[in-house]
Amino acid sequence: VGDQDEKLAEGIKLYAIPTTVTSKRTILSDLITVYAKGGKTIVFTQTKRDADEVSMALTNSIASEALHGDISQHQRERTLSSFRQGKFTVLVATDVAARGLDIPNVDLIIHYELPNDPETFVHRSGRTGRAGKEGTAILMFTSSQRKTVKSLERDVGCKFEFVSPPLMQEVLESSAEQVVATLRGVHPESIQHFLPTAQRLTEDLGTNALAAALAHLSGFSQPPSSRSLISHEQGWVTLQLTREQGYSRGFFSPRSVTGFLSDVYPAAADEVGKIYLIADERVQGAVFDLPEEIAKELLNKQLPPGNTISKIMKLPALQDDGPSTDNYGRFSNWDRGSRGGFRERGHRGSRNWGGRGYVSDDGFRRGGRSYRTDNRWSRTGGSDDDWLISGRISGRSSSFGSRDRGFGGACFNCGRTGHRASECPNN
């Protein structure tokens, strides 16, 4: 941005939301519900395909349309006119199609993908907070893009407030508020036609009648299931394992967490999702997902001294699981590097991430040759600290927690692999 005249308006609130690739679309819907509060939202994507797919996914719950270079000029004008008039509230657009837009009263901007440069970020965010009004811009990023977000802060001269994705309770409350606002706008003459029915319902059900109407209009006719804080998938619960200092003789890693779960409750080791270590070096801990019913059972299990498992409502800071995977201020061409790594081209020669590899956002381990199938991890190489739980490859399933197969976890007593705590030679 530097010497350019274009700067971020002072009235724009900036938030940064950690996500995963698989959770982005679910989180996106919640962000719009909580932060737009029924107002206009523009979601920016990198590709035309993403714009179409994101818009289609949102349409199931929120009226939206896509805008990009492949759309005819006539259709583009119709889309913009409908958006200005409030016939739909969410516009999903690419950067090329969005330049030069003149749309007043945009309440929320969401950077669904990181911009390629700071100028693009300023341009996107500048669609809100115009004419002295307040606005909100939200940047969605994965754990491997955290350093890039910090670089963006420095380049633009702004400061993000890092917040967690909205909790289900926040989504429910915001949905109800928007329904109430809609009800207040119903014409009095229309209300008269429904008064007799409303009076009968009130006599039969009391305030439950109104609560049922609010729930249905909010899209929650059925009670919401639990959601993962990591993937935001329904039916999953995020738990945190912490271990007190002095109770671990080995290296604390995702693999040792799997071994611990296998000893405490083998079913949990079989079904555990991806494990993330807590970034705080003073804490030996990790977070992970489990199906709701299995999580309930695990929380009732007796644990070895010094270990605690709890259900959390907010994610702690987590360790990065790889280098940046966005194109901000860099390049997009990749080629195979040496020793199984990946090499980037076009930035002062080549940068080789090395043979150990890393887990990229598409779910495949680069260089370490680990592959994800059926939401599980397996590996054919790499080091002991891989983000590796279990895997299903070529129709055969394997699990560190299965008693009828070789144990692949780590003993939580001595930290060594190949045996459980019950079989530990140090007992």
Domain assignments of the chain as residue spans, ordered by start: 12-165, 170-217, 229-427
For the segment 136-154, the average pLDDT, to the nearest whole number, is: 91
pLDDT score of 405 more than 80: no
Q: Which of 98-112, 219-233, 340-354 has the lowest mean pLDDT?
A: 340-354
Regarding predicted confidence, which is higher, 206 or 339?
206
- CB of 156 within 8 A of CB of 34? no
Instruction: Using the structure block, give the residue that is written with the tokens 């939301």.
Output: 17
Which pLDDT score is estimated for 412? 58
- 194-205: average pLDDT: 93
CATH (residue range 12-165): 3.40.50.300
367 touches 357 (CB < 8 A): yes
What are the backbone angles phi and psi of residue 399, rounded to the nearest 5°? -155, 140
Q: How confident is the model at residue 286 (pLDDT cuts 50, 70, 90)?
A: very high
Nearest in space to 146 (alpha carbons), one of 17, 232, 28, 233 = 17
Nearest to 158 by CA among 150, 170, 167, 166: 150
**Separation CA 307–CA 260 (nearest Å):** 10
- Asked if the model's pLDDT at residue 218 lies above 80, the reply is yes
Is the confidence at residue 306, as pLDDT, over 80? yes
pLDDT for residue 364? 37
Considering Cα of 21, then 66, then 138, then 290, what sign does the dihedral take?
A: negative
238: how many CB neighbours lie within 10 A of its CB? 23
> Tokens 């399933």 map to which residue?
397
Beta carbons within 8 Å of 52's beta carbon, 6+ residues apart: 66, 68
Q: Percentage of residues in the chain with pLDDT exceeding 90?
A: 44
Please, are residues 283 and 247 in contact by the beta-carbon 8 Å criterion? no
Give the chain's mean pLDDT: 77
pLDDT band at residue 143 under the 50/70/90 scheme:
confident
Determine what percent of the chain is predicted with pLDDT higher than 70. Answer: 73
Lowest mean pLDDT among 42-46, 106-110, 248-252, 386-390: 386-390
pLDDT for the residue numbered 39: 92
55-93 pLDDT per residue, tens: 999 988 889 999 998 999 899 999 999 999 989 999 999
How far is it, in rounded angstroms, from Cα 44 to Cα 46?
Answer: 7
The token pair that represents 75 in the structure block: 């259709």
* Interatomic CA distance for residues 399 and 390, integer angstroms: 5
Q: What's the pLDDT band for 137 if we cut at 50, 70, 90?
A: very high
Q: What's the pLDDT score for residue 408? A: 52
- Please tell me the pTM assigned to this model: 0.66
* pLDDT tens per residue across span 228-271: 888 788 889 999 999 987 776 667 889 989 999 999 999 999 99
User: What is the fold of 229-427?
Assistant: Alpha-Beta Plaits (3.30.70)
pLDDT per position as a tens digit, 320-348: 655 555 666 653 333 333 333 333 333 33
More confident residue, 267 or 223: 267
The pLDDT score that the predictor gives to residue 212 is: 93
Of 117-126, 164-173, 342-351, which range is least confident?
A: 342-351
The SS3 call for residue 409 is coil
- Worst-scoring range by mean pLDDT, 17-26, 130-139, 236-245, 341-350? 341-350
Closest to 324 measured CA to CA, from 158, 114, 81: 114
Q: How far is CA 324 from the centre of its chain?
A: 16
As a whole number of Å, the end-to-end CA separation of the chain is: 62
**What pLDDT is attached to residue 152?**
93
Where do we find the tokens 């008693």? 403
Give the pLDDT score at 300: 94
What residues does 51 pair with on adjacent strands?
none
pLDDT digits (tens, 9 = 90+) for 270-285: 999 889 899 888 888 9
* pLDDT over 70 at 105, yes or no: yes
